[in-house]
Amino acid sequence: MKNKSILYRFGIVVLVVLLLVLILPSSRIDLSSSLSACSQMTVRTEKITSFASGDDLQYRLLSMDDAEYGQLTDLLSQVTFRKKLNQEYSSYSHDYPAQSVTLSGYDDAENHQLLLTVYSDGVCILNNAFVSVKYPGGGAAELYQALMEIVE
């Protein structure tokens, strides 16, 4: 009787491991198709001092011919994004003051292809989903710094 119990538990553990192996790799988000579909991008930098007010808001439209556009796409092509599990966009709040960079990418027909917001405190939201960031320069806080260097 004990042999069946041990085999049953082992089978359950194997099934759980297989499910994790199948689910976790699918949480990786590939931006290459979204970036290649974009022909223009808007960049918004914002400094937020309290919940309802932003002190400094800058907004620019970049086309494929702009040097900053090429730098942004080169930087984003090096970044790996992974969707965080069990975290809702509506539940996020951050400490003030906060700074952010938001990139919105559009194709020729002005269809929305990409929405990326990176906060100075290391939070990153891609297409309304929280993501973790990994790229050669570090994590989301370092990505924020790299984006700010390009757009300023």
pLDDT digit string (tens) for 41-65?
999 888 877 666 656 778 888 888 8
DSSP-based three-state secondary structure for 51: coil
pLDDT tens figures, 31-42: 777 888 888 899
- pTM of the full structure: 0.76
Question: Treating both helix axes as pointing N-terminal to C-terminal, what angle do 140-151 and 67-77 enclose, rounded to 10 degrees?
Answer: 170
Neighbours of 138 (CB within 10 A): 14
Q: List beta partners, residue 56.
A: 47
Are the CB atoms for 120 and 110 separated by under 8 Å?
Answer: no
pLDDT at position 151 is 87
pLDDT at position 99 is 87
Q: Where on the phi/psi map is residue 81: left (φ > 0), alpha (ψ -120 to 50), or beta?
A: beta
The residue that leads in pLDDT, 57 or 81, is 81
